[in-house]
């Protein structure tokens, strides 16, 4: 097929994420769209791109948003473009109007684009809401075969294994996820997915 046409409203959102790259089969660049998440305000969660080295372009294609980049607040009505060149800068965006939509495009300068594991993770997370823990585990293991050092995938695999009663595997994968990103220690402390194994002396405790 030489070209594809799709309307944003035809793409099923996953907690605000519209997976454009996957829907259109784009391989040359990272491109997605975002609308307000379940809280009705957050569009782009606070994050940086230090681990990927990506430059990111944000385009407000509908509605009105407020960006915060490195502590600077940016008013962004429809048509505003925000380019964040420095991967280490924290950035976020919230909706000023309902149905605000932000198109994002990113990649590492000088390198061919490679899909990131968070996309697969984001598509698997809804399975927890429907109680499909075995299916979540299966898909997470498949994703980890492609991205063995992806901390988010390991963390969610531990969540699925805990729900399935697989205590030893859950604790091992949680420990590895925390090694890759220490912030998972605090996340696990309040995550109900780990209620079944929280009494285990090996369970990682939040720092005092």
How much is the pLDDT for 146?
Answer: 86
Is the predicted pLDDT of residue 2 greater than 80, yes or no? Answer: no
pLDDT tens readout for residues 147-178:
898 899 999 999 999 999 999 999 999 999 99
101 and 143: one domain? no
In the sheet with 72-77, reading across from the earlier edge strand, the strands are: 42-47, 91-95, 64-69, 72-77
Note whether residue 144 is domain-resident. yes
Q: Which residue has the higher pLDDT, 108 or 75?
A: 75
Q: What is the pTM (predicted TM-score) of this model? A: 0.71
> What's the average model confidence in pLDDT over 124-143?
93
171 and 80: one domain? no
Q: Which domain holds residue 34?
A: 8-107
Last residue of a domain, one of 81, 107, 133: 107
101 and 175: one domain? no
24 and 103: one domain? yes
The CATH number given to whatever domain includes residue 88 is 2.60.120.10
pLDDT tens readout for residues 181-196:
888 999 999 999 999 9
Q: If residue 102 lies in a helix (H) or strand (E), which one and from where to where? A: strand 101-107
Note whether residue 73 is domain-resident. yes
**pLDDT band at 1, cuts 50/70/90?**
low
> What's the average model confidence in pLDDT over 118-137?
89
CA atoms of 135 and 128, how far apart (whole Å): 9
CA atoms of 161 and 138, how far apart (whole Å): 10
36 and 126: one domain? no
- Could you report how far apart the first and last alpha carbons of the chain are, in Å? 56
32 and 67: one domain? yes
83 and 139: one domain? no
**pLDDT band at 76, cuts 50/70/90?**
very high
86 and 12: one domain? yes
With H, G, I as helix, E, B as strand and everything else as coil, classify residue 194: helix
**pLDDT band at 208, cuts 50/70/90?**
low
48 and 99: one domain? yes
With H, G, I as helix, E, B as strand and everything else as coil, classify residue 12: coil
Last residue of a domain, one of 42, 76, 107: 107
pLDDT tens readout for residues 17-72:
898 888 888 888 889 999 998 889 999 999 999 888 999 999 999 999 999 999 99
13 and 77: one domain? yes
pLDDT tens readout for residues 86-127:
999 999 999 999 999 999 999 999 988 877 788 888 888 889
Last residue of a domain, one of 107, 141, 166: 107
Is the predicted pLDDT of residue 77 greater than 80, yes or no? Answer: yes
With H, G, I as helix, E, B as strand and everything else as coil, classify residue 72: strand
């Amino acid at each position: 097929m030489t070209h594809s046409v799709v309307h944003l409203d035809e793409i099923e959102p996953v907690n605000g994420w519209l997976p454009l790259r996957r829907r259109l089969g784009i391989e040359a660049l990272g491109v997605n769209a975002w609308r307000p998440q379940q809280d009705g305000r957050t569009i782009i969660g606070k994050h940086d791109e230090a681990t990927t080295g990506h430059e990111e372009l944000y385009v407000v294609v509908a509605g009105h948003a407020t960006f915060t980049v490195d502590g600077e607040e940016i008013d962004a009505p429809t048509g505003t473009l925000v380019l964040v060149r420095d991967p280490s800068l924290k950035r976020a965006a919230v909706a000023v109007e309902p149905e605000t939509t932000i198109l994002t495009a990113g990649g590492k300068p000088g390198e061919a684009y490679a899909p990131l594991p968070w996309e697969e993770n984001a598509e698997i997370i809804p399975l927890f809401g429907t109680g499909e823990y075995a299916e979540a585990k299966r898909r997470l293991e498949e994703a980890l075969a492609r991205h063995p050092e992806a901390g988010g995938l390991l963390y969610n695999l531990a969540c699925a294994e805990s729900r399935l009663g697989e205590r030893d595997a859950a604790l091992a994968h949680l420990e590895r996820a925390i090694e890759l990103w220490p912030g998972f220690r605090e996340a696990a402390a309040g995550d109900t997915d780990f209620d079944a194994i929280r009494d285990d002396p090996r369970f990682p405790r939040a720092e005092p």
